[in-house]
Structure 1
Amino acid sequence: MTGTRSVRPGIRFAAAGFILAVLLSAPRAEPPPLTLAILPLKLLDTSGEPIDQGPEHARRLAAMARGLAEDLDAGGDYRSLLVTAETLRARCPDERPDCLLAVAREAGASRVFVGVVHKSSTLILQLFARVADARTGRAVLTRDLNFRGDTDEAWRRAGVFLAGQIREAGP
């Protein structure tokens, strides 16, 4: 009987060690990507330029939103949802913050992106960007970026830089 008792603790320790080794070596599940609703970007043009660039700017705003979504999705930490302007017009015609947050939550997002480009001249543009918690509306990231040139390339580079800023801030 004495010999049996001394073997059992050894077996228990070995079994516990084996289970611990299996648990520690098992691949850990990555947290699911954070879902980010990207609202349509807005433009404030105070440049006073005589040529109507509305269609060109609308295209650039949409391309920036798509590029931002693609860049964030490619990093793996985010899953982006592009909210259309039509959805917002139908659901939130006055664009109240509580309504915008509700649209984002109903789409399954835990965060929401809002961006405004301010064009003050032909060469000077600013991008005001905010990522907020879709439940509380509290800002989790705010960036004010300047970029030069009202060209497709300048807008694309600004979007790529912003995506990097959002990724660096982390989910």
Structure 2
Amino acid sequence: MHLSRLILPAFLLFVLPHAPAAAEAAIGVAVDDFSYTDTSAEPTNQTAAHERRLSAFMAALRRDIGEAGRYRQVPSAQDGAAFKVIGGIQKTSTLVQWAKVAVIDVGAKKLVMDKLYTFRGDNDESWERAEMFVSREVMAALATPAPVALAVFEFELEDMTAASAGALAASDASYLAEVTDAVREALGQSGRYRIVEVGREAAATAGALRDCGGCEAAIAKELGADQSLIGVVRRVSRTEYTLGFQVRDAGTGAVLSRGDSGLRLGADYSWKRGAVRLVGDRLIESQQAAGAQER
């Protein structure tokens, strides 16, 4: 059995949102029994030993997750689980085993962890070490919010100079594309956001998003995003510009965040650097600070 089959991505389609009671402080976590596969082709039948060690592994994992009191064990998503932990272990040779572990945010239907680990040995001590490591990784994932699905639309140019001819010059289009790509990369690398693909067709149909009264939120929702982001470069003169962005909730259209750089000096090629800094300061760092306060 391939490790990729140990955890079925299709599970995400069937988990149900939970509705935890307000009075419950502990967060519900459902930990499914991991599967076990031995493909080592060893002559000795170790099924009984593996069943015993896997049982001890799962008992210890559940104990460690609930030990601090922040989380409580529940049987399933239907019973109020905010998170679900699933996984499988495969023995590939006498000394090498692999563990595939995923943590699912049930309400958001998103993976907050999906990792493959290797551990050496197949005795009680090696299984205990593996469980201690995996439990730390799972606890860290439970404390980390699922990334927000964000549709980042192409940055637009608002040319306020007297020389503006209306049509977008090829050089301007190139610089705007660089700005958009750099902002998407910065947001994706932050870990706070999962960038949703915005097709050229969707962007072209929308036209100038800065003047559509928030229509980008509806487009983002159709794309499966939680939030939308639009950005504008305003050219004041050939060497002066401002940058701005706005984030909306894809479901409600409400403005969640916005930022403006104020007047900046620099040639067109400096737009990218300015946009990344603005988004980093006003969006990424502010979200990280808010997350730290919540924890």
Alpha-carbon distance in 2 for matches of 1:99, 1:136: 11
Contact 2:221–2:251 (8 Å) recurs in 1: yes
Higher relative contact order (CA 8 A, sep 6+): 1
Letter matched to residue 70 of structure 1 = E
Question: Structure 1 residues 78-87 or 156-165, which shifts more?
Answer: 78-87
Could you tell me the TM-score, scaled by structure 2's length? 0.46
Could you tell me the TM-score, scaled by structure 1's length? 0.75
State the Cα distance separating 1:100 from its structure 2 match: 2.3
Letter matched to residue 148 of structure 2 = L
Alpha-carbon distance in 1 for matches of 2:204, 2:222: 16
Question: Structure 1 residues 95-104 or 122-131, which shifts more?
Answer: 95-104
Identity of paired residues, percent?
Answer: 26
**Does residue 1:54 correspond to 2:169, yes or no?**
yes
Alpha-carbon distance in 2 for matches of 1:63, 1:123: 18
**Does residue 1:144 correspond to 2:269, yes or no?**
no
* Structure 2, unaligned runs of 5 or more: 1-61, 69-134, 289-295
Alpha-carbon distance in 2 for matches of 1:142, 1:78: 16
Q: Secondary structure at the match of 1:120?
A: strand
Match of 1:34 among 148, 156, 159: 148
Number of equivalent positions:
152
State the Cα distance separating 1:41 from its structure 2 match: 1.3
Alpha-carbon distance in 2 for matches of 1:94, 1:145: 21
**Does residue 1:71 correspond to 2:114, yes or no?**
no
Q: Secondary structure at the match of 1:170?
A: helix
Match of 2:244 among 123, 128, 139: 128
**Matched residue, 1:158:** 274
- Residues 150 and 102 (structure 1 numbering): CA distance in 2 closer, same or farther, change over 3 Å? same
Alpha-carbon distance in 2 for matches of 1:151, 1:97: 27
State the Cα distance separating 1:33 from its structure 2 match: 0.7
State the Cα distance separating 1:98 from its structure 2 match: 5.5
Question: Structure 1 residues 26-35 or 107-116, which shifts more?
Answer: 26-35
Give the structure with the higher percent helix. Answer: 1
**Matched residue, 2:109:** none
Alpha-carbon distance in 1 for matches of 2:173, 2:64: 57
Match of 1:45 among 159, 178, 184: 159
Q: Secondary structure at the match of 1:114?
A: strand
Question: 1:30-59 deviations in whole A, cap 9, x for unaligned?
Answer: 322111111111111122248987111111
Match of 1:83 among 198, 201, 210: 198
Alpha-carbon distance in 2 for matches of 1:89, 1:81: 16
